[in-house]
Structure 1
C-alpha cells in the first residue's frame, strides 16, 4: 500500500481572494480535504477511527507559500503521511502547477481517545502494509510561537459563528484561519505579502464564544498572533 495520494483542483471563485488568487484559508482547506480523503482510503478516516473509539487532532500546521495559483488555474494537490513518532505523526502536502511546487505544507497530528481525551500511540494506527515512500514535503521545522503577550491589548475580537462549526460541533480548523485573516484589511494583507504561516492549535471553540486577538510585531517583519477566550490561549500563529 503506497502512502501517497493526489488529485487535481481548479481554483474556482469560491476559494479565491480579492486579488483573484487561491486564498490562504483556501490552501488550508485544500490540505484538510485531501488529508480526509486519503485517510479514508487508508482505512483511518473519521468514521473508521470512531469505530475504534479514536479521533484525529490537529496539533499544528505549517504552510510555505511560494506562489498562490490564480483563479481558473488547475493544479495538483498532493499528500502523504510521514513515518510517525510514538504519539505524533506529520502529514505533508504540496500544491504543484506547471511542473513547479507552488505551496508546501505539513500538519502534526495526534490521536485521542474519544471517551477520556488521552493521547494514543501511533503504533497501530496506520495499516501495517503502508509504505512511507516519499520524503517530507517541507523540511523546515515547525516554529515555536511563544505565548508571551503581556501588556499587549487586543486589536480585534471575533464571535464564533454557526458557519464556523464543523461536524465535531466546534470551530473548524480552517475557520480559525479565515477569522485570523479577517482581522486584517486586504490592503494590510497585500503589504504583509505573507509567505510562511505557522499555526498552533491549543483548544477548541464553540458557537457564540468571543475570541480576542493579540498581535506582536517581529523584528524583520511579520507578526505573532494570539487568539484567546478570556485568559485561555486558543491558538498561536506566526505570519511572515
Structure 2
C-alpha cells in the first residue's frame, strides 16, 4: 500500500542554486517511510525493543527535476515486495499535480543490532503491511569499484554523523560524494541518476576516504568509500546533465 505525505520545500533544504539537496532528499524519504512504519508498529522504536533495525543496501534513483524552495510536493513510499532476507521499497517525489519528479527503488535488510549482522525478514510484519512475497529478486545495477580513482579525500566519522543503528547515516555518504566536486561544476550540472551499493557499515571514529573519477562524455562520476586499508565500503555511480 502506498503511503503519501504533503511537504513544502524550505530554503534550508536546498543548495545555493535553490535545488533540493540530495542528502536532504534521502532524509525526507527516511522520514516518510518511518511515519508509515510507525502506523503499523514497525518503526524505529518498535524495532529497537527487539534489538533490530532497518539497513539499506542499495538505491537506484532517477531524477527528472529537483524541487525548489516554496514548492509543495507529495512524498511517497511503498513496500514493493520481499523474500527471505531482503525487503524492497519504492520512494517518490511528485509535484502537487501528481507529476513525478524523483523515482527511487531500494533494497533493505533487517539488522540484528547486537550481533551486527542481518537476520531473516519478519514474515508476519510483511503480511501485516500486505507486502507481496517475490519469487525473483528485483535487478539492480551491478556496481564494482574502479581499480584506481583520480581523487581521494580523507574524512573521519563524527558523532553527529551516526544514525540510530550506530553507524554512518546513509544520507551522509552523499555529502562526501558531492564534496569531491568544485563549485563551478556543481553550479552548472544537475544529477540525473544515482546508483549506490552499501557493502560494509562505517562506524564512529573510523577514518575513511571518499574516492572519485569523473568522466566527461557522458558526464558521469564514479565513487567509492574506502577504509584505511583500501577496502571499499560503498560504491556509487552518478549521472549528470549540464544545466
TM-score by length of 2: 0.85
Structure 2 CA distance for aligned equivalents of residues 101 and 229 of structure 1: 37
Name the structure 2 match of 1:80: 78
- Correspondence 1:19-168 to 2 at 5 A: 19-97=17-95, 98-132=97-131, 141-150=139-148, 152-168=149-165
The counterpart of 1:169, out of the listed 148, 166, 169, is 166
Structure 2 CA distance for aligned equivalents of residues 23 and 233 of structure 1: 25
Aligned length, in residue pairs: 231
- Check if 1:17 corresponds to 2:6: no
Identify unmatched segments of 5+ residues in structure 1. 134-139
1:141 Cα offset (Å): 4.4
Structure 1 CA distance for aligned equivalents of residues 71 and 24 of structure 2: 14
SS at match of 2:191: coil
What are the superposed Cα offsets for residues 122-162 of structure 1, whole Å, 9 maximum, x if unpaired? 252525243349xxxxxx94222112324x35432223233
- Contact kept, 8 Å, 1:95 with 1:104, in 2: the verdict is yes
SS at match of 1:126: helix
Q: Which has the higher strand share?
A: 2
- Check if 1:193 corresponds to 2:190: yes
What are the superposed Cα offsets for residues 76-129 of structure 1, whole Å, 9 maximum, x if unpaired? 101110120121111101111033001111221001223323432225252524
1:217 Cα offset (Å): 3.8
Identify unmatched segments of 5+ residues in structure 2. 133-137
SS at match of 1:193: strand
Structure 2 CA distance for aligned equivalents of residues 18 and 185 of structure 1: 13
Question: Relative to 1, partners in 2 of residues 1:190 and 1:64: Cα closer, same or farther, differing over 3 Å?
Answer: farther
Name the structure 2 match of 1:221: 219
The structure 1 segments of at least 4 consecutive aligned residues displaced by more than 4 Å after TM superposition are none
TM-score by length of 1: 0.86
